[in-house]
Amino acid sequence: MAVGSTSAGFGICRLCEGPTQPGFALCYCCTTLIGRLQMPLAPVTAVTPYRVGDRMHRLLRGYKDAPMAEARSICTSQLAGILRWWLSEHGDRLLARTGGPWDLVVGVPSSQRPMAPVDALVDAVPALARQHLSLLVRGPEPTDHLVASRRGFAVTSDGDAGCDERGRRALVVDDSFTTGARAQSAVAALRLAGVRVAGVLVVGRVVAPETAWWQAAYWDSVIEERRAARTVEWVGGGRPVAGLPR
């Protein structure tokens, strides 16, 4: 969706591409995070919007939280398939958003788990896996809903990072995007360590139509785009049926 005003009346944030009030270049969340981090934010690109409770939401929860390992593996495989398909179809758009290629891919660590679940998705997508380094760990300060911190994450040279990454250009990857606090805190930590961040790629962006008229109008426009394109919902193997572009 293009950044700027829309025919439906709502605006599109130029940083995260989420819905905002008309006449505003930035959404409330991005404006708040700039104030908290006191540095520019990285541009965000989302593979697809979703609502709490829909199929994409269940996949994003299931690959981390399903009680059985087999179920987590199935969800991971389906999400990786979606990412592979989207990059093959929309890689040029991502390059345009990030201002060119990157030579490093970094996942955002979990705020609650010792590992970064999104790393499993990255490693299952060859276009991302070959440049993937696990550089970030949780930092000494918390990150949460609209709570961003430069010290929310820390850069480490342990594990598979065998050299100094200063000056390299990174794509930050996360599974879901609500306010952007965690992803932008990760961006801040990398920048403070000398890594140049090209942008953030997220699998899903949560939309809450019940919270504001522009959120509802944005979601209506998503549904109309899907109907116009005769799209259906994602199923296993990354094959789009019923809900996302074919």
User: Which residues, at least 6 apart from 231, have a Cβ–Cβ distance to it below 8 Å?
Assistant: 225, 240, 242, 243, 244, 245, 246
Kindly report the pTM of this predicted structure: 0.89
Measured torsion, CA atoms of residues 235, 239, 241, 246, in degrees rounded to the nearest 10: 150
Q: Taking the CB of residue 55, how many other CB atoms lie within 10 A of it?
A: 16
14 by Cβ neighbours in 10 Å (0-12 / 13-18 / 19+) ranks as middle
Maximum Cα–Cα distance across the chain: 50
Q: What is the pLDDT, as a whole number, of residue 186?
A: 97
Q: How far is CA 80 from CA 28, 70, 73, in A?
A: 31, 15, 10
Q: Which amino acid is at 160?
A: D
Q: Which amino acid is at 141?
A: E
* β-pair partners for 138: 153
**HSE-CB of 69 using CA atoms within 13 angstroms:** 0
| Average pLDDT along the chain, 246 residues, taken 10 residues at a time | 62 95 93 96 97 94 93 95 95 96 95 82 96 93 93 76 76 96 97 96 96 92 80 46 36
Which contacts (CB < 8 Å, 24+ apart) does range 86-93 have? Answer: 86/47, 86/48, 87/125, 87/127, 87/128, 89/245, 91/127, 93/45
Q: What is the pLDDT, as a whole number, of residue 103?
A: 94
Q: What is the pLDDT, as a whole number, of residue 163?
A: 52
